[in-house]
Amino acid sequence: MKKRKLVGWALATALTIPAFSALAQLDEGPILHPKSTTAKSAGATLLVICDIACNWKLDGKTRGAIAAGDSAKAPLSLGQHLVGAITQDGLDKKETEIEIKTVSQIIVHFVLQPVRDVRVKAEQEAQVKAQEQAVQEQAAKEQQDKERQARERAAHEEIERQAEVLYKDLRYGNAKPLLDQACAEDSAKSCNYLGLMYAFGRDVTKNEAMAKTLYAKACGAGSADGCYNLGCILSAGLEAWGGPAEDHPRAAALFSKACDAGHAEACYRAGQMYNYGQGVTQNIRTSVSLYTKACDAGIADGCYWVGSAYYNGEGIEKNDELARRFFGKACSLGSKNGCDMAH
């Protein structure tokens, strides 16, 4: 019985010693674990290329500039990403979504020039269309303005016509409101008629200053009659009106202006001014030229004075043949003096 117990203790002791030995070895250094097979793999590489200079973005963040035809590189994790490129002037851009599933190099090539070409073409077409529309609108506006002006002109001419009819019918009181309206709208003819009314007191109080003002306005608006009538007042002297003496230089200029506009009487009066040196330097040749214009327009006295100039030979070469011719024309136009000289 004692031997069995000893053997049993010895066996237990033998089994225990290796266990303590193993524990001693574990204390001598770190415990090493094997690498996990579920660790996350490294990401991919993104290569971005632009055909023209651009700035590029990754997932909404600006990453920098890329020269034309150059590239930029960046690490990229697995999963979905948004890559974009925009031209440096900020006018043209492209974006693309990519999904990284494996570790590799992903190349994204942005071709921005065609995008720019499309935009530029669209802008040019829009500009041309806008210009065409502007031209059409301007043409329509001009047409509307022409039509409006034509209506206004027609209405103005009708008022002017009615005023003239009433004036020539001696219905001065009825004519005056229409003449006032037409003259206010710069009707030369109506201003001249109003001037005549004030000059002669036709249904209005005679007023020399008002007559002069109206004649001047008519003259300035192109009325030869207005220039002639104002010249008549200035050449005749204004003492009878309680005003200043005659203003021959202005009168001569007004008669010449009216003559140039085809007013026959004005040519005759301008001829007189040059014949007698009233307001101008006396000049018989100029006088004869003005008298001739009056004669050609049917003014008998103009023909008579041309004949007299050639007959007397003062300031112009004497020419009896021309004198007889002009005296004869004066006679045919009703000039008694012309008839006396023609025979």
297 located within any domain: yes
The residue ranges of the chain whose pLDDT is under 50 are 1-41, 238-243
Task: Tell whether 230 and 292 lie within a shared domain.
Answer: yes
163/228 same-domain check? no
Whether residues 106 and 155 share a domain: the answer is no
Structure tokens that stand for 281 in this block: 């330097």
Q: What is the mean pLDDT of the chain?
A: 87
pLDDT > 90 in the chain, percent:
82
Domain match, 261 and 323 both: yes
The answer on 230 and 333 residing in a single domain is: yes
Residue (of 223, 224, 146) closest to 182 by Cα position: 223
Total Cβ atoms within 10 A of residue 185: 15
Residues 331, 253 share a domain: yes
Same-domain status, 289 and 243: yes
**Percentage, residues of the chain above pLDDT 70:** 85
Write the CB contacts of 262 (distance below 8 Å, at least 6 apart in sequence): 224, 297
Residue 288 · residue 323 · CB < 8 Å: no
The predicted pLDDT at position 3 comes to 43
**Strand arrangement of the beta sheet that strand 61-66 belongs to:** 61-66, 54-58, 79-87, 93-100
Q: Is the distance from CB of 99 to CB of 82 less than 8 angstroms?
A: no
- Domain assignment of residue 57, yes or no: yes
Per-residue pLDDT reduced to its tens digit, 75-119: 999 999 999 999 999 999 999 999 999 999 999 999 999 999 999
Long-range contacts of residues 116-123, Cβ cutoff 8 Å, at least 24 apart: 116/52, 116/87, 116/91, 116/92, 119/91, 119/92
Domain span at residue 77? 45-111
Longest dimension (CA), the chain: 204
Task: Give the chain's domain count.
Answer: 3
10 within domain boundaries: no
